[in-house]
Structure 1
Amino acid sequence: MLDHEQVLIRRGPRSGLPVILALHSTALGPAAGGVRLWHYPGWRDGLTDALRLSAAMTLKFAVTDLARGGGKTVVAMPQGTRLDPARRRDVLRDVAEVIDSIGGRYAAGPDVGTSPADMAVIREFTPHVFCTPEDQGGSGDSSPHTARGTLAALRAVSRRLYGEAGLKGLRMGLIGLGHVGEHLARLLAAEGVELTVTDIDAARTRTAEEIGAAWTGPEEIISADVDILIPAALGGVLTTRVVRDLRCRAVVGPANNQLHAAEVADLLYQRGIVWIPDYVAGAGGVINAVTTELHHFTSDDARARVDTIEDIVTELLRTADDLGVTPAQAGHEMAQRRIRAA
């Protein structure tokens, strides 16, 4: 059953690419969410991604108590598509026109495949955008704030597992050294974490060497003997097969849509592995951007709001204990309670 308020699918008149805007909910306020420019086997796969990601944004805003709803834009590029600067601009203008067509019910920021510079192009054609470059008055790259929020979530989980929020000496495996993953890896190294990392790009080994992290392959890290596994790349990494191979005590990371299927959360719970929903662990970037650009908080207030992720995770785990349910179910219940109250 489709529970979204509105879904737009348009063929971009300039780019010829499918532009999909999924507006999940405006119960708490106008929706917000990223623009994903990515390759898919077909446009229907992009639609599936947009529906899932926008629903997760609703949960993210509700659990973190922000007056926003969930939305997402996906440009579904066929495999092998390459965009020169002129065509990329055409894509972004097509996206801007779709966003503008719903009259401010949704504001867009960067996501996989897009950047603050792309948001600046979109802003030429619609005001409903955030995370534009700092030198243009925006909040800029959200990656450092996403990493900071994940660090806060890790502190809460460390307290649950070991009785204290300090991370020094813990063994962690980090999957993905992209924008967020690299920022997070540097934060963890500074905290004294024994870090093992991986990425599909072998050139990232230079980052691992620089911060003193061990390097392993993407397949090997899944079964690494670590305290906490941190997915920080694309989604779908947690399959039933993968969960059976895990040797960690918790999975906490910023990657969106980590669960290949909903029942994977139950399997993690049965194995005694703490999983923090990605829409909580990865909320720092959007919290910072929305609070500064759309709600006009100061940067210090926004940073403090990001740090409350530690308290939110603590509350989520307590709720799961009280109700005797998985953290995934507890997060959903917390979000729905706030949406119903609105």
Structure 2
Amino acid sequence: MTLNLTDLKQPGFERLVLAEDADAGLRALICIHSTALGPAAGGCRMWNYASDAEAITDATRLARGMTYKNAMADLGLGGGKSVIIGDARRDKTPELMRAFGRAVQALGGQYYTAEDVGISTEDMAYTAEETVYAVGLAGGDHGSGDPSPWTAEGVFRCLKVGAAHIWGTEDVTGKRVLVQGLGHVGLSLAEKLHAAGAKLIVTDINAAALADAAERLGAEVIAPGEVFQQEMDIFAPCALGAVLNAETVPALSAKLVCGAANNQLATPEIADLLKARGIVYLPDYVVNAGGIISVASEIHKRGENYRRGRLDGIATRVAEMLARAKAEGRTTVEIADAMVDRMLDQAKAA
């Protein structure tokens, strides 16, 4: 089998690589946005993109987001992301994942990969047969396993900080919380909210997941197209991105947005629209860092205390971000981006 790596030009990024192995059916992009704070780290997503241009757009957006996420979580890691082009239900094979592992290994430690949409811990185990830079593994001395529960825990902690900022208490008892997306992270978050006394509204395209949430968590089930017609206190987007846009934000009744989905804002200007409507938005790359914190513990060969300490850290930074945004009359996105840009500038100067 022949693996081909082709460097593609992408302004503002350190490296964008097209990895192909025809025999294994691999066609993937590995994007490294920044290594100013350490080797790039970010998950591998498998998605049936309509075109290479669409895949490049997703990979680059996600890689940049990982730079900011890893910096804000104080992980000593840069930002990167990879996408495998294909249908995970139909095209994914052990040999494809091994070929992807060879591509990661060929980068010589510039990039660490892990699970993301369409990729499981079992898939990553095949990747790890060909590279030492595959993490999020279930076994081994430092294996961190499925990062989803840690992502959900981080979102839950930050959500409580946001609630305290708005209502003066972290107690979400009786609050109407709409969880959009009941994958591993969304369902785990819904379980935590139910245990905390919240009134759940849930939606997903998976009928079985909805039935489970209705039975076990007493959740109200709505159709995916009915999200922005609901009365709610908190909106937790945990599906795909760009759900907050010029059409949906004017209809949103929530006072707080805090969810696990990446790239929730369709455009940067949406942050201003949310602020103008008095809706507190907690930037996704800050609150959904629990998964990469778990992965980082594996990269750095640290344990559970490391993960819990970093989760405490992101909750503290959310509180700082909210206080600064209120005092300076700026959006939370502006404040969070400024905090990260300062870290990157200091690292580059050093």
Fold agreement, TM-score > 0.5? yes
Counterpart in the other structure of 1:40: 49
Specify whether residues 312 and 238 from structure 1 end up closer, same or farther in structure 2 by C-alpha distance, changes over 3 A only: same
AA of the residue aligned to 1:293: E
Other-structure match for 2:131: 126
Could you tell me which runs of 5 or more consecutive residues in structure 1 were left unpaired when the two chains were aligned: none
What is the distance in 1 between the residues matched to 2:170 and 2:320? 15
Q: 1:12·1:19 contact (CA, 8 Å) conserved in 2?
A: no
- For 1:240, what is the secondary structure of its paired residue? coil
Structure 2 residue aligned with 1:52: 61
* SS of equivalent to 1:161: helix
Q: How many residues align?
A: 337
Q: Give 1:102 shift.
A: 1.3
Amino acid in the other structure paired with 2:20: R
Kindly indicate whether residue 321 of structure 2 is the aligned counterpart of residue 313 of structure 1.
no
How far the C-alpha of 1:152 sits from its partner, in A, is 0.7
**Distance (Å, rounded) in 2 between the aligned partners of 1:316 and 1:223:** 30
Does residue 62 of the first structure (1) align with residue 67 of the second (2)? no
CA contact (8 A) 2:26 2:100 kept: no
SS of the residue corresponding to residue 11 of structure 1 reads: strand
Q: Paired residue for 2:90, among 62, 74, 82?
A: 82
Does residue 240 (structure 1) correspond to residue 246 (structure 2)? The answer is yes
Q: Which runs of 5+ in 2 are unaligned?
A: 1-9
Matched, 1:260 2:259: no
Is the 1:234–1:255 contact (alpha carbons within 8 Å) kept by the matching residues of 2?
A: yes
The question of 1:282 aligning with 2:291 is answered: no
Alpha-carbon distance, 1:82 to partner: 1.4
Contact 2:98 2:127 in 1 (8 A): yes
- TM (norm. structure 2) is 0.92
Give the aligned partner of residue 146 of structure 1: 151
**In 1, distance between residues paired with 2:141 and 2:301?**
15
Aligned equivalents of 2:182 and 2:236: distance in 1?
11
* Corresponding letter in the other structure for 1:287: I
Displacement after TM superposition at 1:296 (Å): 2.2
Aligned pairs for 1:149-228 (under 5 A) are 149-208=154-213, 209-228=215-234
Measure the CA separation in 2 of the matches of 1:309 and 1:224: 30
- 1:18, 1:43 within 8 Å by CA — same for their partners in 2? no
Q: Note if contact 2:179-2:200 (Cα within 8 Å) is conserved in structure 1.
A: yes
- Rounded Cα–Cα distance in structure 2 between residues aligned with 1:300 and 1:329: 31
Question: 2-side partners of 1:28 and 1:48: how far apart?
Answer: 23
TM-score by length of 1: 0.94
SS in 2 for 1:241: coil
Q: CA RMSD in A?
A: 1.6
Poorly superposed stretches of 4+, deviation over 4 Å: none
Q: Which residue among 322, 330, 349 is the counterpart of 1:325?
A: 330
The structure-2 alpha-carbon separation of the partners of 1:263 and 1:68, relative to structure 1 and needing over 3 Å to count, comes to: same
Tell me by how many angstroms 1:113 deviates: 0.4
> Which range moves more in the overlay, 94-103 or 170-179?
94-103
